[in-house]
Chain A
């Protein structure tokens, strides 16, 4: 028996090399038109710009916190572009690229990190659940939702519904994630588990989370697992499409491990220089998802310099909009504290709200009387 299975290097599904060369994979064919490729590139660039602006806004004191997706754009954009409108996605808290594809306004993403809301959008409007902070909790929500899809008879056909849930390498250590794998397996639920293995759970490297490659966990629960090059937007798109189709057809769950790298800090509160070496960062810079797609597009005539310049200009405009929108987000009303805790009246809360409203009003009265 091998005692170092975590260090075995499994093969990645890769359709686009870091040098921008296209590869074909027999199990995951991908036939994209030039427009679709340009669309993917645009998404990657724009969502990176949203992320860059958000980090800057946090440094300027406009956000309390930000969890950067830098480096993980391809994993998110590729997988999210594989979704159909009726599919439901459950993110953790770093899925800004998924949110972008699902049509959530960047300002609504920033709102949570600014502290003006704990949510930011209506999940039903975007078929994107709210960000979930407690690690791995959303894997069970997705699995339960998928069990509901099953009960609705919404799987089986090509127009069926599938569910995808995003989580990180750290989440695979949580009981909830393992319970979700098991609930999904025994129920054959139509859910795709999309793990972005970005190598670090704050300061803890993958070898502190798992002795086996993460995609292999699936086999123990009885469903397929596959590792993809998470910095390859084509592989992310092709494999997720396949996994969603697998779920849609009623064949049950699949696990995708997107092997990627978190280029920035865990959040803006983190200092990765304390726990990882610069050489590692340099190595992953060469695998950048945007550079490789751009190299492919330029070499194959998918886009010209005008296109790249236009996308850059669009990113500049988007960046400005993000800055303006963020600063314009109003602070909530103090009585918002009491809102929407319960759907129906709750006597204790009603009393506390009334008392607090009176208390706040007393300052206005004091003001009207010329102060105390």
Chain B
């Protein structure tokens, strides 16, 4: 049965389905209970699954991730909501030194099926620390899987795949796209969904590959629509760690050009890593250097300036034009 859902509602439906399927799945975080989360992503779960499975935690991010590790060691599958991207940082120690490393430390004796849900990215006019794109820190940390979604269909399936994964998964939710809608077949089997680690060609094209993920996929699709001079192929990366290089390089070998866009600052970013890899593996196919369109290497600015900071349609199109200037 197909249901028209926003990204937020799709994640909610995915959480509900995972909780119904497995009594070991828990939701935990600040305000996830009666309030249903500040973005209402956990709406009604507390009512239906109770306080033992939808845990309102003390206001302490390290405590959330640290106790989730302990719950996972006891056989549970905790899904932690970190309220906003900029509030994740108190939990970096537990995430980077413990969650990411414990399987390796135990030589495989321990699995930590913990999901960290992080609403991220800008564009909602928020105050400081509510608009950041910290995905590169996570992608740089071995032991974590890092994914993000761009539409409600992926939101519904990927949250379930993340919960089912025996590895810790950082699940980035594009908060400015929470209300974008799509038809979701909520009754299909989980294993029929597109694999969590795989990229997807969101729009085929022949002249240039435009790679985006999370909130920038919509902008990239708008750019492809707007540019009547070039046939732009848009790839929705979906998984930031691991990167599905097969899909990316196959596209680049056909188009000969690659433009990467993300909301995060460009230096040391995910785009930099992909550019280096693609240059190494597609050098003789490239007609132009790999172009990056991202944010500046500054703190996220006050919201009245974010339209200049975030890569928008024009800046993405400018990046495409630069790729054709060679």
Contact = CB atoms under 8 A, between A and B. Distances in A.
Interface of A: 117-119, 122-124, 129-130, 132, 134, 137, 139-149, 151-152, 175-176, 179-180, 182-183, 186, 339-344, 346-349
Interface residues of B, number: 50
20 contacts: A117-B107, A130-B110, A134-B93, A140-B67, A143-B66, A144-B70, A144-B78, A148-B70, A175-B62, A175-B90, A176-B94, A179-B63, A179-B66, A180-B63, A182-B58, A183-B57, A183-B58, A344-B166, A347-B243, A348-B241
Contacts of A344: 165-167
A144 B72 CA distance: 8
Interface string B219-245: 000000000000000000000011111
B97 interface: yes
A137 B98 contact: yes
Interface of B: 26, 52, 55, 57-58, 60, 62-63, 65-76, 78, 90, 93-94, 97-98, 101-111, 142-143, 145, 165-167, 197, 241-246
Contact of A347 (B98, B103, B143, B245): B245
Nearest to B109: A122
Contacts of B78: 144
A152 B106 CA distance: 24
A141 B104 contact: no
B52 A145 contact: no
B167 A141 contact: no
B106 A176 contact: no
Contact of B167 (A129, A145, A342): A342
B194 to A, nearest CB: 16
Contacts of A175: 60, 62, 90
B275 to A, nearest CB: 15
Contacts of A183: 57-58, 60, 63, 67
A341 B103 contact: yes
A contact patch SS: helix
A52 B143 CA distance: 36
A144 B67 contact: yes
B97 A347 contact: no
A183 B165 CA distance: 26
B103 A141 contact: no
Given A147-B55, A147-B74, A339-B108, 7 more contacts: A137-B97, A140-B70, A141-B67, A144-B74, A180-B63, A183-B67, A341-B103
A175 B90 CA distance: 9
A119 B107 contact: yes
